[in-house]
Structure 1
Amino acid sequence: MANGVYHTGYDIEINLSREDLGNPEYDGLLGEITRSVGERPRHLLQCLKDRRGGQCHCALDGKSPWMFVRRQRRGDKVVWVAAHLPLTHVAAPQESDKHKAMKERIARTAARHGLNVQTEARSDDGRVITDVLVTGAGGRIGWEAQYSPITANTVRRRSQRARERNIAPLWVTADVTSDLTVHPGPASTTCPGSASSLRLP
């Protein structure tokens, strides 16, 4: 349980231990964040640790980085706390097929141009598995085909691990609303069918 969350709509941090939630200028904020998840956007509240780029163990333990707020009794007091929402997304068969098809397309294209190709390439320490690792005279590119939901922080962490192993991360998605495409920064992202090549933090 946490006593703080990040409001993705207002771009603010909320302190649940304070009566004004640390944001006195936002009237009705408590009522808004304590609404049922079915009555507000699922991604409205985010784990602060995940938002700041850290590794939240709750999120890694089969739960999402998205939060909900509820009451909890602590001794003789009732307080507001934030808890992680469970992961509800399961990759549909068509997503899996698209993922495989994109990996095959990348691998075939790279091989046709005389580059070395490895699929599901595992780093020496086993901490990085790349969908398609393409190696040429200029270096190594780690292609990642991403068709299921993923947070920008997860992409940052995985991209950083790749760069630490001299792999340039390159993410591919068909979803223009994905966190892969809406946050500018240093990991390259492409959207098939789009003329733009975007950057992720």
Structure 2
Amino acid sequence: MSFTALHPERGRLDATLTGLGQDLPWEGIYRARPRIRLTCPECGHGVHAKLSPRRVRYFAHDPGRSPHCQLSLESADHHLLKRVLAESIRRAGWSADLEVPAPDGSWRADVMATSPSGERRMAWEAQLSPISGDDIQMRTDRYSAEQITCCWVSSRDRVPWLRTVPGIAVTPAHLPEVVEGWMVHDGVVSFGPRRGAWARVGDVTLPAFVRWVLGDGLIFHTIGRRYRRIHLPGSNATVRCSAGWTTQRSIDAESAHEAMRQRQEAAKHVRQERERKAAERREQMERDRQRQEDERHRAEVEERNRRTRIEWERQSAAWEAEHREELRRQRQQAHLQELARLERDRQEQAAAQQW
């Protein structure tokens, strides 16, 4: 299944365009007799014009196609998303070409949008099959190398690569052919200055999103590390998100909030430094007071010890004087006693002589 085919005379046909992009009516190839030989632009195998049950025009491969043709392997959902993207791009005033290959075959854009001036191109990729983050980044880098911006679009519930490259997740319309019914449910964010945080934006139609992106109203922005907790609309829940599509106003609001936060952090640092120095001064004053108190206490102790020593020396001297006086008295008393004894001995001798 494909929306493009190669006409042997008119060249590339696009089933999503009026006149197939070549002023050729659909009836000129659909069930036309004799049959016009149309070929697949990818594998070169024969294709024929068909209508889906919902009357969507496309090209189907003839029997015996190559099993490796990428266009034939794409699902109906993939082709439907490409058609919706092309229609949204055209409504935004840009031209949209489906399944556009690189001149060297290094890439093939699902839908290539070209500005009215022809100076700008943007690839829109419908990515419904699983792909690794490295692979999708490599494919994005190929576009960037040729000055082509891109946006990856998925209608799957889980899109693990959504934050690694410019992309969105969409919800198909109840009637898939109604382009206005396709909604972007993830990938668009807005910064709230009051809350100081990002929030996911809901209720954005896919055509409106495409128009804003092509008109530079939305920019793919890498969110600052401090702001990657994204609030979900209508709830208090949050999710981690590192990038998203947003307006320049939100980017400026984030920058202003970060500048304010840095000023507050700087003021807080100055205040903390001032408080730290004040605390150091108080601690130094307390240490000085404690040192003075210790010195005063030590001086008092030394003074008490000095006075105690002096008192002890005074008492010791008094005790020594008393001791010397006592010895003197004892020697004097002993001398007197000795004199008294000698006097008694003399008196006794005198009395004995008288007898």
Structure 1 length normalisation: TM-score? 0.47
Greater C-alpha Rg: 2
Higher strand share: 1
Bigger RCO of structures 1 and 2 (CA < 8 A, at least 6 apart): 1
Structure 2 length normalisation: TM-score? 0.27
